[in-house]
Amino acid sequence: MLKLPRGTRDFSPDDMNKRNYVENSMRATFEKYGYKEVETPVIEYLELFTKKSGETIIDEIYTFKDKGGRELSLRPELTAPVIRFYIDKLQMKPKPLKLFYFGKCYRYDRPQKGRYREFKQAGCEIIGTNKPEALAELISMSYNILRNIGVKDIILNIGNLKILSYFFDELKLSKDQRKYIMPLIDKSKIEDLKGAFNKFGLNEIKVEKFLNILKTDDICNVLNFINDKNEIIDEINNLKEIFKFLNSSFKIKFNLKLGIVRGLDYYTGLVFEIEAPSLGAEKQICGGGQYDLINIFGGKETPTSGFAIGFDRTIISLEMEKYNFPEEKLDFYIIPVNDNMIEKSLEIIELIRNKNVKVDIDLLRRGVGKSLKYSSSINALNSIIIGPKELNNNSVTIRNMETGNQKIIKLDQLIKSI
């Protein structure tokens, strides 16, 4: 038997109903915030991703050479392609530029729950502003996208990499040392972190100060741990203003978490993550913040922020919370009583389809009883039975599949009522 490649999936009509519901809901929220949709190719030059993430990413992605010997890659994420698109075609557009997108991505990961080699990603970028109100609105949108879909149990954590980097500098950590401790910070492995600092031979007072910073949940407390306040005061005040907008204007609940350590190579300040506890260990469902890729890719330096949402994890979190996805309903199912009624039934179905409603017809000539049973199984709201007696009066029989009630109605009246 032919089988699926590992880490990929087929999606049934029921699966696609869920996926379409989630995508349509996300799209509606993006558009409410003034964002406009873009799309980029699945295939990009490999250099796009090595410039962003370094050569080590090659082991994690699908790469190949085309017939011209060019090194290409299946995109592992969507931010880099969108920024490449911006530099190439959109730099002269009025700012701020608000872009959103959906797309398939590919990573050579070990497949596990909520993580696949082929997966869908949703996300957005706002280009041209880093004002506190813009960043607060971005965070608010990420939170409300998930709430509007129906995810109830979510936790929003907000951090700042400039503040974190300030303390890395205070500790005089080398690049390799920072790289070593970042996963420990990310996973909140405090004891392992203490062990690493001890191994590095760091000043115990400074280490204790740093660990207290990771634990604090009040941005005002951060100033108590800073020696040169002038160096970082603007960033703290900026974060405080973002928090003010989230509290007073957007009414969003959040936590300060300075242990967020996403992509230090290109993230530049504010970072945030949203967790869905129902997912267990792999609970991060959204992540984003301020970053600098435009400059790295050779474009004119411009403030940029954005986020990505795990599309599959969003669906899993809804399923874990026992969310009732809207059922896909068929408006009408046409049932010809006998073979002589097929031609007229096809004519009627086209009249109904021209009204932009969902309609299907019995294509197996199975008879009224079996057709009604099938109509019920496919969630048709109404069945239209077309027989010779009714047609002689230019009428049809319409049956409500939920109540079982049926009535004879003039065909032109039926068409007008749809």
Q: What is the CATH number of domain 13-320?
A: 3.30.930.10
pLDDT tens figures, 296-316: 899 999 999 999 999 999 999
Concatenating the DSSP letter of every residue in 219-285 gives HHHHGGG-S-HHHHHHHHHHHHHHHHHHHHTS----EE-TT----TTTEEEEEEEEE-GGGTTS-EE
Per the CB < 8 A criterion, the answer to whether 332 and 344 are in contact is no
Q: Could you tell me which residues come within 8 angstroms of residue 68 by beta carbon, excluding any fewer than 6 positions away?
A: none
Give me the mean pLDDT over the 324-336 stretch: 95
Task: Name the band, by pLDDT with cuts 50, 70 and 90, for residue 227.
Answer: low
Degrees to nearest 5, angle at CA 83 with 78 and 87: 150
pLDDT tens figures, 83-94: 999 999 999 999
Among 7-16, 224-233, 365-374, the least confident range:
224-233
Q: Which CATH number fits domain 330-417: 3.40.50.2000, 2.40.30.110, 3.30.1640.10, 3.40.50.800?
A: 3.40.50.800
Q: How far apart are CA 138 and CA 126, in angstroms?
A: 8
Structure tokens at 271: 């970072």
Higher pLDDT, 44 or 2: 44
Domain boundaries of the chain, sorted by first residue: 13-320, 330-417
Structure tokens at 280: 């267990």
Structure tokens at 321: 């919370």
What's the pLDDT score for residue 348? 95
Structure tokens at 106: 């590919």
Per the CB < 8 A criterion, the answer to whether 46 and 58 are in contact is yes
Structure tokens at 167: 């303390």
Report in angstroms the alpha-carbon separations of 345 from 142, 237, 353, 375, 404.
48, 70, 12, 16, 21
Q: How far apart are CA 285 and CA 401, in angstroms?
A: 39
What's the pLDDT score for residue 53? 83
Per the CB < 8 A criterion, the answer to whether 279 and 169 are in contact is no
Q: pTM of the prediction? A: 0.90
Q: Does the pLDDT of residue 55 top 90, yes or no? A: no
What's the pLDDT score for residue 129? 97
Concatenating the DSSP letter of every residue in 65-88 gives E-TT--EEEE-S-SHHHHHHHIII
Give me the mean pLDDT over the 362-367 stretch: 95
115 DSSP assignment: B
Task: Tell me whether residue 125 is exposed, middle or buried, using C-beta atoms within 10 angstroms of its C-beta: 0 to 12, 13 to 18, 19 or more.
Answer: buried
**Chain Cα centroid distance, residue 395:** 48
What's the pLDDT score for residue 264? 56
Residue 150 is inside which H or E element, if any?
none
Q: How far apart are CA 377 and CA 403, in angstroms?
A: 15
Nearest to 159 by CA among 208, 220, 205, 217: 217
- Cα Rg of the chain, angstroms: 28
Give me the mean pLDDT over the 90-114 stretch: 91
